[in-house]
Structure 1
């Protein structure tokens, strides 16, 4: 019986180790921040997550920062005349009762001037500054280079 309990405990520890975290600040829920491992020769990266505004007022993401990058900025990627282009965004509205998703090929946080490349399995801090809700620091999980989307199992802070 004790062996079964220990085995179950070990299984639970192993299964929860890969869970992504969710973070709450005010009426906002930031879900599953993640990034991709990058080749050594690339000095930058991107971070992705979702912001759920459960409140009755629009908030605005006005700044991002990370000690892993010399510069962190909001970007969006869009097609125009058959060409993909990336554009800097000074801020991004998070409408009331809605969700804004940061994902590859769309809205993302651009991380520039990184001294060390991102490696699968590590985590790094990213601070999100909202106009109304304030600042929250999230831990970004770095996934393997072939990851198409972020983690899928939430754990709320």
Structure 2
């Protein structure tokens, strides 16, 4: 009896951990993996949005931007080194997600810029975000808010996307 109860408790704990770490979303041929953000300071003018976007289809799609009740505006941005200077610019035409490839949005590379957050993002909470794609349409995801200095859960260096120097 006691072993059965322990087995049930262990199975339930594994199910909870698996569910908590499974943080992915799908729309059309696109799979969005582990969307996240950093905790922000009070009165921070912006917050970042990061994730992987895998295009399992045979045609390219484009991330056009998004929206959230947690911020005034959501744009797609690119950070990169130009000589010795780190530059950032909005991608007004969006970010192409090539067919059969994965793009990583991460600090220091491609990312979402959430302008004028309504309130600080707190570690441990989830922030709703609707992503808008040219072909796949819209999908609502949740940004898991990590610590303020988080750099991401995985290193996707082998995937297509922004390479930081």
TM-score, reference length from structure 1: 0.88
Instruction: State how 1:51-130 maps to structure 2 within 5 Å.
Output: 51-90=53-92, 91-130=94-133
1:147 CA drift (Å): 1.8
The residue aligned with 1:35 is 37
Q: Secondary structure in 1 aligned to 2:62?
A: strand
Change in CA separation of 1:20 and 1:142 when aligned onto 2, cut-off 3 Å: farther
The residue aligned with 1:24 is 26
Change in CA separation of 1:18 and 1:56 when aligned onto 2, cut-off 3 Å: same
| Equivalent residue for 2:150, pick from 139, 147, 150 | 147
2:29, 2:38 → 1: CA distance? 28
1:150, 1:137 → 2: CA distance? 21
Contact 2:65/2:112, CA 8 A, preserved across alignment: no
C-alpha deviations, 1:99-123, integer Å up to 9, x for none? 1110000000001111211101000
C-alpha deviations, 1:30-70, integer Å up to 9, x for none? 11100111122413210001111111111111221111001
Which blocks of at least 5 consecutive residues in structure 1 are unaligned?
A: 153-157
Aligned residues: 152
1:109, 1:12 → 2: CA distance? 32
1:151 CA drift (Å): 6.8
2:79, 2:44 → 1: CA distance? 19
2:106, 2:98 → 1: CA distance? 18
Structure 1 runs (4+) deviating above 3 angstroms are: none
Using CA pairs under 8 Å that are at least 6 residues apart, name the structure with larger relative contact order, 1 or 2: 1
1:83 CA drift (Å): 0.7
Superposed CA RMSD in Å reads 1.8
